[in-house]
Amino acid sequence: MLAPWADQPYTLISTLPFSKDVRTSSLDIYSRISTNEHKTNPSCLTSIHLQAPHIPPPAAADFVTYCKCWAESMHHHQDAEEALFFPDIEAVAGVEGLVARNVEQHRAFAAGLEQFEAYWDCGAPLVGHLWDEIETLPALEGYDSARLREAYRRLEKALMATDNQRIEPLVFGTADRTFEGGMHDFPSVPFSLRYVIHYVLRRRHRGAWRFNPSTM
């Protein structure tokens, strides 16, 4: 029997609908980046789902920390989207309520996320939302590319305002750099920063990162 990989039961989000040419519009570029960001969440959730039944008592505290870090990252990400990015892209498009469906989907898994002991109940609507939110972006083709770029930069800045000892090791440990043939440089950071994350930022909760589905 083949060993389970960290791409089931929650399938990773593909970037294939978007152009592979990095010289195309900023919308294409940021759609790919956003897809890679979203991909880390079902990857982490799958990692939790597969490992939860097999955690020995000595590892329980670290596993709980890992789960809490994932929940924190989800709350932080969706709060930044609702406070900054969604209003920004509606302003660029001039269409009020353009992403209302995505906001409603946040609510669909909020209760399950807050009651994390029932994480498998929130998994299906959460992963469905992550796919659907990516599909919202191509609909912005034809709108002001520069303003969309600025909207995404505002979101990135908000996402970086977090506890780097809890979230950065999680993100980098769930971003499978071999996905789709390794065509994505995500997260795209200097090697020196990867060194800092691996040898400095991950130290406080180092026991939790053994549950990450990928290595840095």
- On whether the CB atoms of residues 136 and 100 are closer than 8 A, the answer is no
- The distance in angstroms from the start CA to the end CA of the chain is 28
30-43 average pLDDT score: 61
Taking only the tens place, the pLDDT of each residue in 150-164 is 998 898 889 888 899
164 phi and psi angles, rounded to 5 deg: -70, -15
Q: Three-state secondary structure along 15-63?
A: CCCCCCCCCCCHHHHHHHHHHHHHHHHHHHHHHHHHHHHHCCHHHHHHH
Most confident listed range (8-17, 67-76, 165-174, 185-194): 165-174
State the pLDDT confidence band at 55, using cuts at 50, 70 and 90.
Answer: confident
Distance CA 187, CA 81 (A): 18
User: In sequence order, what are the residues at sequence separation of 6 or more whose Cβ sits closer than 8 angstroms to the Cβ of residue 6?
Assistant: 43, 46, 47, 50, 176, 213, 214
% of the chain at pLDDT higher than 70? 76
User: In sequence order, what are the residues at sequence separation of 6 or more whose Cβ sits closer than 8 angstroms to the Cβ of residue 128?
Assistant: 105
What's the pLDDT score for residue 205? 93
Handedness of CA 123, 166, 85, 44 (dihedral sign): negative
State the pLDDT confidence band at 165, using cuts at 50, 70 and 90.
Answer: very high
**Residue 200 confidence (pLDDT) above 90:** yes
- On whether the CB atoms of residues 92 and 140 are closer than 8 A, the answer is yes
Taking only the tens place, the pLDDT of each residue in 67-96 is 888 888 888 888 888 888 888 888 988 988
What's the pLDDT score for residue 80? 86
Query: Which amino acid, residue 110?
Result: A
Higher confidence at residue 1 or residue 100?
A: 100
33-41 average pLDDT score: 59
